[in-house]
Amino acid sequence: MVVTHGDKSQAIIDTAIKQRERLRSGRSQTAAVLTLLGLASVGLLLALVVGSAHANGVPTCNSQPMSQTDVCDVFASNGGGGTFTYQQMLDRESAEDTHWQVIGWVMTVVCLLLIVPVVGNLSPSKPWGQPVTAACPRCGRQTTQERLTTHTIRRGRTTYSYTGKVTLCTPECGYATVRRS
């Protein structure tokens, strides 16, 4: 529900209910784990394929393989140009490969390490918010949770954010309220 004017309380509550349902369904956890595994795969691709692109040991000059007696003239506007021998070109390409391998391995390890806290923080068994000490005004049970929630509306380049502390009871009870923070 998008509210375009007036009180945004119901929009903030609707956002909180959607967040709680997404957490309970496990969709948040699944999406986060799949994203991290995808990024880890990209890291492996960088480390194993892109980082070893010149594994045949023959450097190239202007996309042509070089022989031992060739000299390559490199023209570069960023200061990396000059005349290079076969061995110098081999060293240059090897250094480029090493950078991609390091970036790929770091990306893979970081993504795999992040999976553990993501799985724990987005577990469907974890409660949506912080427990409230007072009983629910509607059903009288100690099942209310509250959390700071932000509802955003984008209009062109402008983003409007409305934030409030939302208190929710169980979906069966349906109690929901928001107070401005």
Residue 19, in any domain of the structure: yes
Residue 8, in any domain of the structure: yes
Residue 77, pLDDT > 70, answer: no
Residue 11, in any domain of the structure: yes
Helix axes 9-25, 27-48, angle to 10 degrees: 70
Residue 80, in any domain of the structure: no
Residue 64, in any domain of the structure: no
Residue 169, in any domain of the structure: yes
Residue 96, in any domain of the structure: no
15-27 tens-digit pLDDT:
999 999 999 999 9
Mean pLDDT value of segment 66-91: 77
Binned at pLDDT 50, 70 and 90, residue 168 comes out as: very high
Binned at pLDDT 50, 70 and 90, residue 107 comes out as: very high
Residue 52, in any domain of the structure: no
Q: What is the residue range of 171's domain?
A: 1-25+126-181
83-100 tens-digit pLDDT:
788 788 777 776 666 778
Binned at pLDDT 50, 70 and 90, residue 3 comes out as: very low
Q: How many domains, in total, are found in the chain?
A: 1
Binned at pLDDT 50, 70 and 90, residue 101 comes out as: confident
pLDDT value at residue 19: 92
Strands (E), 56-144: 60-61, 64-65, 71-74, 82-85, 130-131
Under a CB-based contact definition with an 8 Å cutoff, are residues 149 and 16 in contact?
yes
pLDDT value at residue 1: 38
